[in-house]
């Protein structure tokens, strides 16, 4: 579990940079389209769609864009076929990566990712090569000042959470993916607004990098993979000590 919150913090900043470049809207649109395609266009009946729409709204994505993405998923508007793929590999320093893809052209994406990995010193791996190192969990974080740990535990365990942990300045709730939505909704109903809420891959073991140049190389690699138009999530087993993390905290 080490490093998840810290890496999430870097990802939050990365998402903000993406928003400035306008890329995040197109990525969110794909996620919304797929969610509507798989579970229907009614947010009250499709928890995953609601989560994606909430993410889009928190990123200030225009309502017209959201509605259009939903209609593409339900077939009310024409849309290309979007495939969901997973790539596995290694960043520099043998940091394990699992890359979630949404693409309308599998061959193009495969070719571009292969070039990107080769150029930046990474290696693509065969399916299953690194995914066994990760466990899929719901992760929900709130500021520690929001509520006491025991009170939070009483609230969330009653609605299906597995555990509550203290992570730096946050309280972190862990759930099974199937109970993630109900736990998140119960927290919001109790006026506990998450600063981070995702179903994500948690590494069972991590690689700690305490060399600044190596850390910069790995972070640059992951950032470039995340920046690819067809990539919507990168999970890694990178762990950065606080003194190294502080050097990249504003990146």
Inside any domain, residue 249:
no
Same domain, residue pair 236 and 197: no
pLDDT in tens, 87-121: 999 999 999 999 999 999 999 999 999 999 999 99
pLDDT in tens, 177-226: 999 999 999 999 999 989 889 899 999 999 999 999 999 999 999 999 99
12, pLDDT greater than 70 = no
Domain residues for the domain of 111 are 83-131+206-242
Number of independent structural domains in the chain: 3
pLDDT in tens, 49-61: 998 999 899 888 9
Of 15 and 149, more confident: 149
Q: Supply the CATH number for residue 150's domain.
A: 3.30.70.980
Same domain, residue pair 148 and 199: yes
Inside any domain, residue 185:
yes
Q: In what helix (H) or strand (E) does residue 138 lie, and over which residues does it extend?
A: strand 134-143
Same domain, residue pair 122 and 169: no
pLDDT reported for residue 3:
45
Inside any domain, residue 251:
no
Inside any domain, residue 250:
no
């Amino acid at each position: 579990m080490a490093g998840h919150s810290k890496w999430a913090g870097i990802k939050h900043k990365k998402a903000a940079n993406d928003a400035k470049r306008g890329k995040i809207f197109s990525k969110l649109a794909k996620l919304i389209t797929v969610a509507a395609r798989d579970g229907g266009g009614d947010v009250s009946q499709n928890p995953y769609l609601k989560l994606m729409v909430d993410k889009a709204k928190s990123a200030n994505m225009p309502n017209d864009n959201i509605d259009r993405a939903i209609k593409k998923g339900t077939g009310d508007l024409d849309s290309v076929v979007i495939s969901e793929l997973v790539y596995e590999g290694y960043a520099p320093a043998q940091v394990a990566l699992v890359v979630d893809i949404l693409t309308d052209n599998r061959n193009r994406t495969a070719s571009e990712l292969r070039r990107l990995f080769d150029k930046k010193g990474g290696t693509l791996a065969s399916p299953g090569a690194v995914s066994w190192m990760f466990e899929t969990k719901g992760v929900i974080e709130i500021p520690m000042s929001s509520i006491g740990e025991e009170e939070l535990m009483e609230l969330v365990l009653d609605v299906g959470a597995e555990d509550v942990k203290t992570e730096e300045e946050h309280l972190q709730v862990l759930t099974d993916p199937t109970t993630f939505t109900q736990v998140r909704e119960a927290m919001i109903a109790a006026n506990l607004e998450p600063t981070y809420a995702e179903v994500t891959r948690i590494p069972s073991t991590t690689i700690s990098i305490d060399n600044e140049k190596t850390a910069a190389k790995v972070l640059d690699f992951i950032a470039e993979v995340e920046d690819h138009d067809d990539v919507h999530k990168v999970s890694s087993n990178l762990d950065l000590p606080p003194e190294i993390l502080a050097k990249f905290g504003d990146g």
